[in-house]
Structures are given as C-alpha cells and as structure tokens.
Amino acid sequence: MQNKERTIFEALKWASSLLTEAGRDQNAAELLLMHVLGWSRSELLARFHDALPEEQDQLFSKFVTQHKSGVPVQHLTGVEFFYGRPFEVNKHVLIPRPETEEVVLAALNLVGDVFPPDQPLNAVDVGTGSGAIAITLALEKKSLSVTATDISQEALAVAKRNQQALGADVHFLHGDLLEPVIAQGIKVDVFISNPPYIAVEEMDSLSEVVTKHEPVNALTDGRDGLWFYQRLVHDLPSVLSDQAVVVFEIGHTQGQDVTALLEQAFPKADVCIVKDINGKDRAVCAHIQNGKSG
C-alpha cells in the first residue's frame, strides 16, 4: 500500500475507475467502503476528505479486487436489502432482486383484494432460498401463517438465521417443491413461488457474477425454464383451499406459457400478468375459487 494514507475520495475514485474498466457497477465501490467503515452513505459523503486508515484501506482494496474478478458485492458484505430489511446471503442462496419485491407487493395487493383484512390465512412460499419472500410476507401481513419450503438444507439454514434476525414467524420445511406441504396436509390460501426459471440455453447470457457465484440449481431447471411451473401447477389442486391466491415470479418471456398452465388446471380462474417497473412481465397472479370449478 501507499506510504501516505489515501483520502476516502481518492480510494473511491480509484475503485470506481477499476470497476468501470472491468465492466462492473462502479456504485459497488461505495457499498463496499460503507461496509468496511460501518458508515451510512451520508456519513461517507460528509467525510470524503478524511484519511482512510491503512487497515481499512487494505480490506477495501481486497474487496474491490475480488468484486472486479466477479465476486458479488453481497457475498463480500454478506447482506442484501429486501423490502427495506437486511437479509444474510451467501453462495447457497440467490441474492434477492428488486424485481422480486414487486412480486411480493403484487401478492399482498391480491390478498387484500380477495380476502377480508384480518382473516387468518395459510401462505406457502416454495423454493424460499434466503427466506426473503416468506419472511417479508409474515412481517408485512400478520394474519398470514407462513410456511416455506426448500430442497437445500444449506439454504434453509440461511433462511432460519434471517427469520431469527428479523423476528418473523415462519415455519420452514425441507423437501422438493410442494411435497412437504402435501405430506403435512396443509391447506393453502396463498401460494407464492419464485422457482428456477432461466432456460438452460439462456444461462450463457448471464453475467459471471451470477453464474459463477450463485447456486445454479436456483437459477435454471436445466431445461426450457417451465419445468418447475408445470410440476407446481400439477400439484396445486391437491393443496389449495376452496378460495386461493396463486402468484408466480416469471421470466419476462414466460407470461403466456405460465398463464396457460394455470388456466388449464383451473379453467375458471381469474389469471393476470403483472409487469415490473421496467414494463416487463414479472408475475402471473391467479384468483382461484372452488378448486377446479373456480
């Protein structure tokens, strides 16, 4: 390192330049330095011309170099924010995306439209990963009794730590898709899932930050991207209550296919596609009444 301590401004300028050249998000530099120093962004900006102590500078430089090589910022800080709350993330879980916040909001809005405000309801999140969806639902709507499943024990361990840290009441089950829900005889009023939906041929188009550091089995079904939707829709009639809400997060090209799957299984269901803030198809939502005779 330099003999003379760098200022915070100089360190950020160096990091932003390095990350921009590597095609990374230069804003990552601020996030990493905020993490190293334990400061808010406003504190960082207010102290731009303070000297950066050598120990923190070395750690910051290490993190910047690691991110340049492809390690996600969230794996370096160990945290991603979702719905305004900090969630622990690591290599065993997908890093929650802002678009998924919009899916949760769509689910909460649909629940509000379909059910009385304080009616106790059973909600199930399949493929919970970090627990972001399930925990957010439990914290945002207290009338929901939330169950979450995942086939990965490592993912469930992360989800349980997030549950404890955030004080949410969520029941976690280990197993494949809806199998543990069926085994326990749970009747589901609110179903939500963000399954692996990237088609195998699309994986090459993703950033190495994603493909080399996030769990591949949480990204793709290894097929055409629809396999998990098909399996879930096949099993839904055996778990849904007479009146239920179903919400799937989808890839932006999958709206019509997932809508068709739900309409085939539930011919009278009210199914709609919800677009995200960028105008892309992001969720398929269904209001289902009286099982298949909706």
Which tens digit of pLDDT belongs to each residue from 238-250?
Answer: 999 999 999 999 9
> How confident is the model over 177-210, as pLDDT tens digits?
999 999 999 999 999 999 988 888 888 887 877 8
| Residue 129 marked ligand-binding | yes
| Residue 195 marked ligand-binding | yes
Instruction: Please give the Cα distance from 141 to 119 (Å, whole number).
Output: 10
- Complete DSSP assignment for the chain: --SSPPBHHHHHHHHHHHHHHTTS-TTHHHHHHHHHHT--HHHHHHTTTSB--HHHHHHHHHHHHHHHTT--HHHHHSEEEETTEEEE--TTSPPPPHHHHHHHHHHHHHHHHHS-TT--EEEEEES-TTSHHHHHHHHH-TTEEEEEEES-HHHHHHHHHHHHHHT--EEEEESSTTHHHHHTT--EEEEEE----B-GGGGGGS-HHHHTTS-GGGTB-SSSS-HHHHHHHHHGGGTEEEEEEEEEE--TT-HHHHHHHHHHHSTT-EEEEEE-TTSSEEEEEEEEESGGG-
| Residue 267 marked ligand-binding | no
> Any idea which of 25-34, 140-149, 254-263 has the lowest mean pLDDT?
25-34
| Residue 175 marked ligand-binding | no
| Residue 84 marked ligand-binding | no
Determine the pLDDT at residue 292. Answer: 44
| Residue 20 marked ligand-binding | no
| Residue 83 marked ligand-binding | no
State mean pLDDT over 46-68: 96
